[in-house]
Chains A and B, each alone.
Chain A
Amino acid sequence: MKPDSRIDKQRRLAGLFALALPALLSSAHAQAAEPLPDALRIAAVSRTGPSGKTVFAGSSALVAEQGWLAAELGKLGVKLEWVPVTTNSVAVQVNEAFANKSIDFAQYGDLPSIIANASGLHTQLVVPGGSMNNTYLVVPANSNARSIKDLKGKKIALHRGRPWEFPFSRLLAANGMTQKDVRILNLNPQAGASAVASGSADAFFTLSDAFLLEDKKVGKIIWSSKQAPQDWKMRAELWGDSAFLKKFPQLAQLVATAYVKAHLSVAGEGGREAYIQHEVSAGQSRRLIEREWEGDNTDWHARWAPLFTPELRAHYAAGAAYAQQARLIGRPLDTSRLYAPQFVEQALVQLKLQNRWASR
């Protein structure tokens, strides 16, 4: 038995070595050229489409559909993974995913990004623009309130820490009110909708889901941000994990380029209709999207500008100041380090688009 087992051992060792050799070689090779991750993960708001499968919203859907990013990453042996997050708690899901390193990029809102960075996470804005949702103030259908002023001392449903909280604070301030003048009910959009529908909240501040309440005749919109100054609009854009951007600038560049390409196609000829088509296939109603844009003073082309404008920087600085004043964050946040404009700049050069959005 003994000699036999020795031979067996030797054979096994040889086998192991044969197995390990290519792995060793390839790992040595990879080390020389910076080991790339197996997958690049982007979180985006998702809905369940009419066909029952998960579909993404906004420019992420376009990037996914164009397929360019997946192909380019595939050439490098990196898999593109889309991580769906649900509209009810995008902010929390994305921030927690950034914290436990289960995503590298996310398309989400301004205030959650400020909250994340103030609590010690490091993320940076990679591609601005794309989603400037309007915000709406809805009251129960039988309410007599005509403006926010009539809601003094009343209960208003608002999901705290979400990107529409900042526009809400602007609305209050513009009417000489503060959050102390109303009673805020911290409810997620679903619960907020049923609260205003059942009349247990006197108002509900939210996004275009406000139209659904109007359609069901349980609520009416008494204010929208359509005619409000541009910086009242909430922003939701592409953020990246700072460590990832530093470690894999070449991958980040591909992501940025892909999003700029998507913005370009939407902002261009026929892009608006194509975008509506996408949103409809993602389960949004056409009427809702059209009403969201109806009477909006934002220029369509400018909406998709992926530029780090002074207005954008002012928006985030004001957002951070608000967050601290409203005690959403504990310490002041220097927003100047939240930007990583180099990727968009490079993408615009690559795509020869330097002057495309320069008119702004």
Chain B
Amino acid sequence: MNPGVLSAGARGLPLAENARKVLQPAPSEPLTVPMPLPVRHSPVERWLAWRWSAWTSPLLVLAVWIAVTALQLAPEQILVPPLQVLAAGWELIESGELREHVTVSLARLVSGFGFGAVAGIAFGLLVGLSPRLDAYFAPSFQVLRQIPSVALIPLFILVFGIGETFKVVIVAKASFFIVALSVHDAIASLPARYLEVAAVLRFSRLQVIRKVVLPAIVPATLTGIRIALGRSWMVLVGAELLAAENGLGQMMEMARQMFRLDIVMVGVVLTGLVGLALDRTFRLLEAYLMRWQRR
């Protein structure tokens, strides 16, 4: 323990006040001592400190988009002006089409990702806890994990047909490997002293898992799940582009066939926004579940 802190507390001084005293000159000191100059922030720094500064790059992209379309640097059928995209989006919302596509896509994501993540956690735990299983599965796991999900689409279509199964399976595949790997690695990097303490306390194997391993791997697992969620979304939209009756990806593919690039842009923007929303929501969930760590 830091004796300084202890002594400050012993003198009944609030710690924060003590800290401030170190930083600021005491009022009793002569005024001749130069006050520290107010730190000059450059415009860039001030801009970055502004709470809306996160909008800089989206607004820049939008400005470039508007400029390019206004100056007609690209054919209007291909790079549609933002207002027209907005109008197309509104039209899709009003007709209920967009809602249907997004709902279907999200339903596929939730079911596929649910399967994949649960299976991934289970598999990660098994191979993480049992070196023998790890030795059995590691080679095939490492090979399979390197195959991009998108490359498996044609094969999956042949095996599972073009129905819902194929999309759910491909999303599950995309999430499974990322989650399993993060769980496995989290267990592998568990500090040895945790287990030593558990051994001293004579924990049973089940107790070790419940009281030591599981709580310790939560942060890494959550991060893995969040990354897997983003990846699954991308893979799903890709799969829908190729074979689906509906869904956001299919909406884009169909619009491309109908030469409606405005609808394609609606799909592109929406895919990005949904991905962002998923990521942000999961970060909030992560922060909530990890709130004990900040105490």
Interface residues, chain A, with chain B CB atoms under 8 Å away:
91-92, 95-96, 99-101, 112, 115-116, 119-121, 159-162, 183, 185-187, 191, 194-195, 198-201, 328-330
Chain B residue numbers with a CB within 8 Å of A95 are 259
The answer to whether A159 and B257 have CB atoms under 8 Å apart is yes
The answer to whether B258 and A115 have CB atoms under 8 Å apart is yes
Pull 21 A–B residue pairs with CB atoms less than 8 Å apart, ordered by A: A92-B257, A99-B78, A100-B74, A100-B75, A115-B259, A119-B258, A119-B260, A159-B257, A161-B257, A161-B258, A161-B259, A183-B245, A186-B245, A186-B250, A186-B253, A186-B254, A187-B243, A194-B154, A194-B157, A198-B161, A329-B258
Distance in angstroms between the alpha carbons of A199 and B254 in the assembled complex: 23
The answer to whether B259 and A195 have CB atoms under 8 Å apart is no
Nearest CB of chain A from residue B240's CB, rounded to whole Å:
11
Chain B residue numbers with a CB within 8 Å of A162 are 257
Nearest CB of chain A from residue B167's CB, rounded to whole Å:
12
Indicate if B242 sits at the interface (CB-CB under 8 A): yes
Interface residues, chain B, with chain A CB atoms under 8 Å away:
74-78, 154, 157-158, 161-163, 242-243, 245, 250, 253-254, 256-260
The answer to whether A195 and B76 have CB atoms under 8 Å apart is no
The answer to whether A191 and B259 have CB atoms under 8 Å apart is no
Given A119-B259, A186-B253: A195 and B78 within 8 A (CB)? no
Chain A residue numbers with a CB within 8 Å of B76 are 120
Distance in angstroms between the alpha carbons of A101 and B242 in the assembled complex: 27
Given A160-B258, A194-B157: A187 and B162 within 8 A (CB)? yes
Given A161-B257, A191-B162: A119 and B77 within 8 A (CB)? yes
Grouping DSSP codes into helix (H, G, I), strand (E, B) and loop, the A interface class, with mixed when no group exceeds half, is loop
Distance in angstroms between the alpha carbons of A119 and B163 in the assembled complex: 32
Chain B residue numbers with a CB within 8 Å of A201 are 162
The answer to whether B245 and A185 have CB atoms under 8 Å apart is yes
Distance in angstroms between the alpha carbons of A112 and B243 in the assembled complex: 21
Nearest CB of chain B from residue A360's CB, rounded to whole Å:
33
Apart from A119-B77, A160-B258, A194-B157, list 4 A-B contacts with CB within 8 A. A92-B256, A183-B245, A185-B245, A195-B161
The answer to whether A91 and B75 have CB atoms under 8 Å apart is no
Chain B residue numbers with a CB within 8 Å of A91 are 257
Other-chain residue from B77, B243, B257 in contact with A121 (beta carbon distance below 8 A): B77
Chain B residue numbers with a CB within 8 Å of A191 are 157, 162, 242-243
Distance in angstroms between the alpha carbons of A91 and B254 in the assembled complex: 12
Top 3 A-B pairs, shortest CB-CB distance: A200-B161, A161-B257, A99-B77
Nearest CB of chain B from residue A183's CB, rounded to whole Å:
7
The answer to whether A328 and B245 have CB atoms under 8 Å apart is no
> Which residue of chain A has the shortest Cβ distance to B161 in the bound complex?
A200
Chain B residue numbers with a CB within 8 Å of A198 are 157-158, 161
Chain A residue numbers with a CB within 8 Å of B259 are 92, 95-96, 99, 112, 115-116, 119, 121, 161
Chain B residue numbers with a CB within 8 Å of A99 are 75, 77-78, 259
Distance in angstroms between the alpha carbons of A96 and B258 in the assembled complex: 11
> Which residue of chain B has the shortest Cβ distance to A89 in the bound complex?
B257
Other-chain residue from A116, A119, A185 in contact with B162 (beta carbon distance below 8 A): A185
Nearest CB of chain B from residue A332's CB, rounded to whole Å:
15
Given A99-B78, A100-B78, A191-B242: A200 and B257 within 8 A (CB)? no
> Which residue of chain A has the shortest Cβ distance to B95 in the bound complex?
A327
Distance in angstroms between the alpha carbons of A116 and B242 in the assembled complex: 22
Distance in angstroms between the alpha carbons of A96 and B158 in the assembled complex: 30
Distance in angstroms between the alpha carbons of A343 and B154 in the assembled complex: 45
> Which residue of chain A has the shortest Cβ distance to B246 in the bound complex?
A186
> Which residue of chain B has the shortest Cβ distance to A191 in the bound complex?
B243
> Which residue of chain B has the shortest Cβ distance to A197 in the bound complex?
B158
Distance in angstroms between the alpha carbons of A201 and B77 in the assembled complex: 33
Nearest CB of chain A from residue B206's CB, rounded to whole Å:
45
The answer to whether B78 and A160 have CB atoms under 8 Å apart is no
The answer to whether B161 and A199 have CB atoms under 8 Å apart is yes
Distance in angstroms between the alpha carbons of A101 and B243 in the assembled complex: 30
Chain A residue numbers with a CB within 8 Å of B74 are 100
> Which residue of chain B has the shortest Cβ distance to A157 in the bound complex?
B162
Distance in angstroms between the alpha carbons of A187 and B242 in the assembled complex: 7
Chain B residue numbers with a CB within 8 Å of A112 are 259
> Which residue of chain A has the shortest Cβ distance to B153 in the bound complex?
A191
